Structure 1
Amino acid sequence: MHSPILETRTLTWPDEAACERWAQGLARHAGVRDALIELHGTLGAGKTTFTRHLLRALGVSGRIKSPSYAVVEPHEAPGVRAWHFDFYRFNDPREWEDAGFRDIFAGPGLKLVEWPEQAGELLPVPDLRLHIAPVVGHETQRSVRLDACTPRGQELLS
């Protein structure tokens, strides 16, 4: 069962700098510090790139790496705790439950989730879903659909 979409927006990032600017704007919303954001897209679409820009805009320093092998990478900055998840390697949604992530998702902090579909219906309703897709014929351009699934998600789109 899919969560309802309260609002949808579409935009185009002509290059990585546009992705960075959008992430910086998102970071200015106080609600992002406790948001659940799902990141959808093919391999190489820009999910981790967007995550790096958002975490940097929130003040995270140091290395921000993809959690492809670790499944989750925690991050902290002044006033924000964040977790970057990558469920690409999950073969069964129960792996999410077995990993003990329920407590993290129930608590405060920003949760960024790549490949959320691999966790099936076990994830809570996201505040925001980003669908990132490369634009054919344009190496750096990305088409982005933003779905707000909660009032917080709508606030993040404003």
Structure 2
Amino acid sequence: MKEVTLTLADERATVAMGKQIADITKQLNLDNLLVFLNGDLGAGKTTLTRGFVQGMGHKGNVKSPTYTLVEPYELLPWHVYHFDLYRLSDPEELEYMGIRDYFALKSCSFIEWPEKGAGILPQEDLIIDLQYNNNQRLITLLAATSQGEQIINLITN
């Protein structure tokens, strides 16, 4: 599958990348989107997601779901969910919270620490890795589906 690595100069560029992914999602009129986010603490996973949520039309704050596990945003016709599975001790806990209900039509889900939900989470469309690079960030986007590949193609064009 397709992969691209880009440099993000600062927090503003990270938010802008999230907004660009939101714009592409709307442009392609995707039925749903599942993004796995990888990176160390503070690497920009929540910042990228904030850009996406704002790009989908949210006007308020976008907070990390570290303690709540999921933050939902109803942005009709879209349902955007930001998951942070860092505190999850067993993937089965996702079944108890009805995780499958979150992946309905017109849903976009960004999942931090997806490895904690292994075996329960559905196939991701896009894997995004964020890494420190001095004062900047490196972002690597890897398509896991044709939908993810479409997004990368539009980002790199």
2: CA distance between counterparts of 1:117 and 1:46? 18
User: Which residue matches 1:149?
Assistant: 144
Q: Is 1:33–1:80's contact at 8 Å kept on the other side of the alignment?
A: no
1: CA distance between counterparts of 2:63 and 2:98? 21
Choose which of 9, 17, 20 in structure 2 pairs with 1:14: 9
2: CA distance between counterparts of 1:64 and 1:17? 15
| 1:108-127 correspondence runs (5 A) | 108-127=106-125
Q: Partner of 2:118: helix, strand, or coil?
A: helix
Q: Is 1:61–1:77's contact at 8 Å kept on the other side of the alignment?
A: no
User: Which residue matches 1:103?
Assistant: 101
Q: How many residues align?
A: 150
2: CA distance between counterparts of 1:145 and 1:116? 16
Quote the offset at 1:17 in angstroms.
1.9
Q: Is 2:78–2:106's contact at 8 Å kept on the other side of the alignment?
A: no
| 1:54-69 correspondence runs (5 A) | 54-69=52-67
2: CA distance between counterparts of 1:33 and 1:51? 18
| 1:60-99 correspondence runs (5 A) | 60-99=58-97
RMSD: 1.5
Quote the offset at 1:78 in angstroms.
4.0
| 1:36-51 correspondence runs (5 A) | 36-51=34-49
2: CA distance between counterparts of 1:151 and 1:49? 25
1: CA distance between counterparts of 2:63 and 2:137? 21
1: CA distance between counterparts of 2:129 and 2:63? 20
Q: Is 1:75–1:82's contact at 8 Å kept on the other side of the alignment?
A: yes
Quote the offset at 1:33 in angstroms.
6.4
Quote the offset at 1:11 in angstroms.
0.8
User: Which residue matches 1:134?
Assistant: 132
Q: Partner of 1:75: helix, strand, or coil?
A: strand
Q: Which ranges in structure 1 are unaligned for 5 or more consecutive residues?
A: 1-5
Q: Which ranges in structure 2 are unaligned for 5 or more consecutive residues?
A: none
Quote the offset at 1:53 in angstroms.
1.1
